[in-house]
Chain A
Amino acid sequence: MSGAVDNAGVQTDRQIMYREALNEALREEMLRDESVFLVGGGIGRRGGSYKVTAGLLDEFGPWRVIDTPISEASFTGAGVGAAITGMRPVVEILFIDFTSLIIDQIVNQAAKYRFMSGGKGKVPMVLRTQGGSGNGLAAQHSQSLEAWYYHVPGLKLVMPSTPYDAKGLLKSAIRDDDPVVFLEHKLLYMNKGPVPEAEYTIELGVGDIKRRGTDVSIVAWSNMVGRALSAAEKLAQEGIEAEVIDPRTLVPLDKQLILESVQKTEHLVIVQEAVRRGGVASDIASIVQHEAFDSLDAPIEIVAGKNTPIPFNVHLERASVPREQDIIQAVKGSLGA
């Protein structure tokens, strides 16, 4: 593809990395709104372990880009308190695995404050973190835990797959008045994609069709979008045209986009990197079978991670999450091909 079409239909040839797109989003929002600040471990002087916050300490100073001790629960709670009292913090946790340490502040405090206060309080905070496997980081640094946050009313959940989406969605997440869990993927940071110079945002709750097709719908998010797209290209060589849908935000979920696609293709494959049991894919499947049962020509296929901690060994690691051939196989299974 030469140049890509963004939501507004603007063409651009500027290619930047996912991490650079995130950096631009943070910088632009910090320039736009003095109440936006960043807090987390190693985000200032070090610029973040994936360089997402590189350069921001120099530009905004140590009270807008705040390095912390390894006290996840409390600096996340500090984000919650700052948000309640008028700031717009972006809290960074190094690995989603470590969000186990902040569950009280996210689940019991941030997610519920607006509701418990009868709608009078708000928590305009973003929790940025990254998950996923693929770097040989083993079981405590490779998980896909989006289902934890998907499950909790009061949180929004964003999982961008491209630099363009990452930038536009992070800007919207920062401007949102509710707590937003913003999940990046460690394998995406170096990916390049088209991102226009001009200011834009992407509304939370609006999915995107990454590839048009007529035979089968594939729903995938985060790093699985790329894998679904390459599977779709292989399938196209065999005459199967897959439509790849990236919901981009799991909460709110663009149900309509998925349902319309399924009504067209009559076949649905859902791909998630997270373990199969209790995952978001199961919930999407339940929504689709209930709301588009008559459109379905075959059972919904779910391609998901195995129900296992992520192994260290590279071959075992690869085998524990969906591979391209798993997606191809599931599509063929659905089509009876």
Chain B
Amino acid sequence: MYSRDFLEQLYRTLYTIRVFETECIKLYRQGFIIGYFHPYLGEEAIATGACAALREDDYIVSTHRGHGHCIARGGQLEKMAAEVLGRQDGYCHGQGGSMHIADVTKGNIGANGVVGGGIPIGVGAALGIKIRGGDEVVIVFFSDGASNNGVFAESLNLAAIWDLPVVFMLENNQYAVSSPIEEMTREPDLYKRAAGYGVTGWLVDGNDVLAVYEKTKDAVDTCRKGKGPVLIEAKTYRHGGHHVNDPGLYMPKERMEYYKARDPVRIGRKYLLEKGGCAEQDVEAVERQVNQRMQEAIEYAKNSPEPSVEQFLQEVEQN
């Protein structure tokens, strides 16, 4: 029922996110990357499955943990790598960094340093679509942490009263920084909140790329027909702490083992082998290609110049 090409594309994306984050963590440890770096490790299936359900003219809004969304939306590895290294050839010429990569011409409104900050922005993109009479859809990625911020309630309500084409993709990785969701809310099934706003709410296994794809596709179709918004809660788990310097000591070992046994990348690989009829050596060839591309991206980033301080000072003089 799924073509081999499609499953290969999904796996390529899953694996690319995994490799990008893993390699960047190495670069961080070597001192090439500074500041905050929030890996998407363990959550790869959500961005991959969700973005696979979109058209080129649709939009996404991302989060501080945004590299996965950017890659799944077709982001270029070399420009991403250059940006997280703060270089001139990065997406934002080194002015944004890991938490602020945006490429609105490619439908990526951007990552966001403020938890929940992107939610109303996505609603606004959808409002613009509605005013123009378009049929594009916006996926707003956000987290269980953001779900306890006031803008989530407000934005869900705005999207509901205006019937906006928004898929609220709640990535429930079960921690708001370090606070476990079951301590931060009495009802940890967050999709149930949709009902109170007259919105359709669905739960999906966030580690299963095909499950995420199917649910998102239904949600996107619903929105395209003018029957949005839809809230999807994708349950998942981070493979580490909040950022690269957080060892995540508050994450129980058994729960981590449970989710690592349900590794989204491995599940996607299995799909490609079993449902896609792909041979082991062909999967390995995909992996080699991705690794090769990532090494090229790192070289590109390392060779990219630092942005010019003189030019920067000249530009801000006029502000």
**Contacts from A to B (Cβ < 8 Å):** 37, 39, 63-64, 66, 68-69, 71, 73-87, 89, 104-105, 108-109, 113, 115-121, 153
Q: Assess whether A81 is in contact with B158, with CB atoms less than 8 Å apart.
A: no
Q: For chain B, what secondary structure do more than half of its interface residues adopt (helix, strand, loop), or is it mixed?
A: helix
**13 pairs of residues in contact across A and B, judged by CB atoms under 8 Å:** A73-B150, A74-B155, A74-B158, A77-B119, A77-B155, A79-B124, A81-B120, A82-B131, A84-B109, A87-B132, A89-B124, A116-B110, A117-B92
Residues in A whose Cβ lies below 8 Å from that of B30: none
Residues in B whose Cβ lies below 8 Å from that of A73: 120, 150-151, 154
Q: Assess whether B109 is in contact with A85, with CB atoms less than 8 Å apart.
A: yes
Residues in A whose Cβ lies below 8 Å from that of B114: 104, 108-109
| Cβ of B160 to closest chain A Cβ, rounded Å | 10
Rounded to whole angstroms, the CA-CA distance of A87 and B121 in the bound complex is 12
Rounded to whole angstroms, the CA-CA distance of A75 and B159 in the bound complex is 10
Residues in B whose Cβ lies below 8 Å from that of A85: 59, 104, 109, 124-125, 128-129
Residue picked from A69, A76, A118, most chain B C-beta under 10 Å: A118
Residues in A whose Cβ lies below 8 Å from that of B224: none
Q: Assess whether A118 is in contact with B61, with CB atoms less than 8 Å apart.
A: no
Q: Assess whether B131 is in contact with A64, with CB atoms less than 8 Å apart.
A: yes
| Cβ of A90 to closest chain B Cβ, rounded Å | 13
Given the interface contacts A104-B114, A118-B93, does A78 sit within 8 Å of B158 by beta carbon? yes
Rounded to whole angstroms, the CA-CA distance of A108 and B95 in the bound complex is 14
**Contacts from B to A (Cβ < 8 Å):** 59, 61, 90-96, 100, 102-105, 109-110, 112-114, 117, 119-132, 150-151, 154-155, 157-158, 161-162, 316, 319
Residues in A whose Cβ lies below 8 Å from that of B151: 73-74, 77
8 Å CB contact of B119 from A64, A74, A115: A74
8 Å CB contact of A118 from B91, B113, B130, B158: B91
Q: Assess whether B127 is in contact with A74, with CB atoms less than 8 Å apart.
A: no
Rounded to whole angstroms, the CA-CA distance of A79 and B128 in the bound complex is 9
8 Å CB contact of B110 from A69, A74, A104, A113: A113
Given the interface contacts A81-B127, A85-B109, A108-B114, does A117 sit within 8 Å of B96 by beta carbon? yes
Q: Assess whether B121 is in contact with A84, with CB atoms less than 8 Å apart.
A: yes
Given the interface contacts A74-B151, A104-B114, A105-B120, does A81 sit within 8 Å of B125 by beta carbon? yes
Given the interface contacts A37-B131, A63-B131, A81-B61, does A120 sit within 8 Å of B158 by beta carbon? no
Q: Assess whether B120 is in contact with A75, with CB atoms less than 8 Å apart.
A: yes
Residue of B nearest to A101 (CB): B150
Residue of A nearest to B121 (CB): A81
Residues in A whose Cβ lies below 8 Å from that of B127: 39, 66, 78, 81-82, 87
Q: Assess whether A82 is in contact with B124, with CB atoms less than 8 Å apart.
A: yes
| Cβ of B311 to closest chain A Cβ, rounded Å | 12
Given the interface contacts A75-B158, A77-B123, A81-B120, does A86 sit within 8 Å of B131 by beta carbon? no
Residues in B whose Cβ lies below 8 Å from that of A82: 124-125, 127-128, 131
Rounded to whole angstroms, the CA-CA distance of A87 and B134 in the bound complex is 13
| Cβ of B41 to closest chain A Cβ, rounded Å | 24
Residues in A whose Cβ lies below 8 Å from that of B161: 69
| Cβ of B35 to closest chain A Cβ, rounded Å | 13
| Cβ of B94 to closest chain A Cβ, rounded Å | 8
Residues in B whose Cβ lies below 8 Å from that of A74: 119-120, 123, 151, 154-155, 157-158
Rounded to whole angstroms, the CA-CA distance of A64 and B132 in the bound complex is 10
Residues in B whose Cβ lies below 8 Å from that of A86: 128, 132
Given A83-B124, A84-B124, A109-B121, 9 other A-B residues pairs in contact with their CB atoms under 8 A: A73-B154, A77-B151, A81-B124, A82-B124, A82-B128, A86-B132, A105-B120, A117-B110, A121-B110
Q: Assess whether A71 is in contact with B158, with CB atoms less than 8 Å apart.
A: yes
Residues in A whose Cβ lies below 8 Å from that of B121: 77-78, 80-81, 84, 105, 109
| Cβ of A283 to closest chain B Cβ, rounded Å | 14
Given the interface contacts A71-B154, A73-B150, A105-B117, does A116 sit within 8 Å of B96 by beta carbon? yes
Q: Assess whether A81 is in contact with B93, with CB atoms less than 8 Å apart.
A: no
8 Å CB contact of B157 from A69, A81, A118: A69
Residues in B whose Cβ lies below 8 Å from that of A81: 61, 109, 120-128
| Cβ of B92 to closest chain A Cβ, rounded Å | 4
Residue of B nearest to A105 (CB): B120
Residues in B whose Cβ lies below 8 Å from that of A116: 92, 95-96, 100, 102, 110
Rounded to whole angstroms, the CA-CA distance of A86 and B319 in the bound complex is 24
Residue of B nearest to A87 (CB): B128
Q: Assess whether B103 is in contact with A68, with CB atoms less than 8 Å apart.
A: no
Residue picked from A83, A116, A120, most chain B C-beta under 10 Å: A116
Given the interface contacts A78-B127, A80-B120, A105-B120, does A120 sit within 8 Å of B102 by beta carbon? yes
Residues in B whose Cβ lies below 8 Å from that of A78: 120-121, 123-124, 127, 155, 158
Rounded to whole angstroms, the CA-CA distance of A121 and B125 in the bound complex is 14
| Cβ of A49 to closest chain B Cβ, rounded Å | 21
Rounded to whole angstroms, the CA-CA distance of A63 and B150 in the bound complex is 25
Q: Assess whether A120 is in contact with B105, with CB atoms less than 8 Å apart.
A: yes
| Cβ of A302 to closest chain B Cβ, rounded Å | 24
Rounded to whole angstroms, the CA-CA distance of A71 and B119 in the bound complex is 13
Given the interface contacts A73-B151, A84-B109, A85-B59, does A118 sit within 8 Å of B120 by beta carbon? no
Residues in B whose Cβ lies below 8 Å from that of A105: 117, 120-121
Residues in B whose Cβ lies below 8 Å from that of A83: 124
Rounded to whole angstroms, the CA-CA distance of A116 and B90 in the bound complex is 11
Q: Assess whether B104 is in contact with A117, with CB atoms less than 8 Å apart.
A: yes
| Cβ of B277 to closest chain A Cβ, rounded Å | 40
Rounded to whole angstroms, the CA-CA distance of A45 and B113 in the bound complex is 37
Rounded to whole angstroms, the CA-CA distance of A117 and B111 in the bound complex is 10
| Cβ of B66 to closest chain A Cβ, rounded Å | 12
